[in-house]
Amino acid sequence: MTEEASTKDRLVQAATRLFRQRGYDGTGLSEILAEAGVPKGSLYHHFPEGKADLACAAADWTAGEIVRVIDDSFHAAPDWRHGVTTFCYKMAKLFDILNSADACPIFGLMFDGPDQARFRIHAEAAFTRIIAGASHYAQTLGMPPDTAHDMAETFIIGFQGGWTLARVRRNSDVLRSLPTRLYGPASA
């Protein structure tokens, strides 16, 4: 259970962390290698296209994490607003753990890079996945499909903007204020 993470996993995790902090172009391959404790040869064995492959893997991994947080937040939620609130608080906590702002949790990381088309397509798929996840719960909680999709999209838009502002301020309060901003003061 506590076995060593595989070389490949260590690479993806180091890359995710560093890309989040310094961006794609701002992170050197050598930094990733050093942080993962892996030589260059291994990187190109597991990711033949090198840095770009690694970035895509990091993005996929991150999208999966976000979807997982959505699941956790909405699984037992009595209504949409409760789910959103739980999600925002969870992410605010994560924001604070990732020492308050070097990080861009979803996909700031996906816009850089020489291979822009490939990255953009990957990022789009990731957003779609996340919005679909949220939309699913909106339907489960009683909304018709169209409304649900819209609701999920607006939620993710607000969250994305909120994270940006939180980051620039190094302060997660904005995230916690999102439910009120989107849906007005709590009624209970």
Partner DNA sequence: AGAAGACTAGACTGATCGGTCTAGTGATGA
Partner DNA sequence: TCATCACTAGACCGATCAGTCTAGTCTTCT
> Which residues are at the interface with DNA (CB under 7 A)?
7, 27-31, 38-42, 44-46, 49-52
Interaction with its own copies in 48-107: which residues (CB under 8 A)? 101-102, 104, 107
Choose one: 29-37, 82-90, 91-99, 108-116; the region binding its own copies (CB under 8 A).
108-116
Q: Which is nearer to DNA, 38 or 148 (CB)?
A: 38
Say how far apart CA 99 and CA 93 lie, in whole Å: 10
**Could you tell which of DNA, its own copies, none binds residue 157, using a CB distance below 5 to 8 A set by kind?**
its own copies
**138 residue type, one letter:** A
Within 10 A of 145 (CB to CB), how many other CB atoms are there? 10
Within 10 A of 91 (CB to CB), how many other CB atoms are there? 23
- How far from 72 is each of 77, 91, 132, 137, CA to CA, in Å? 9, 12, 15, 11
The answer to the question of residue 116 lying near its own copies (CB under 8 A) is yes
Say how far apart CA 156 and CA 52 lie, in whole Å: 26
Q: Which chain residues interact with its own copies by CB under 8 A?
A: 22-26, 101-102, 104, 107-108, 110-114, 116, 120, 123-124, 127, 150, 153-154, 156-162, 164-165, 167-170, 174, 178, 181
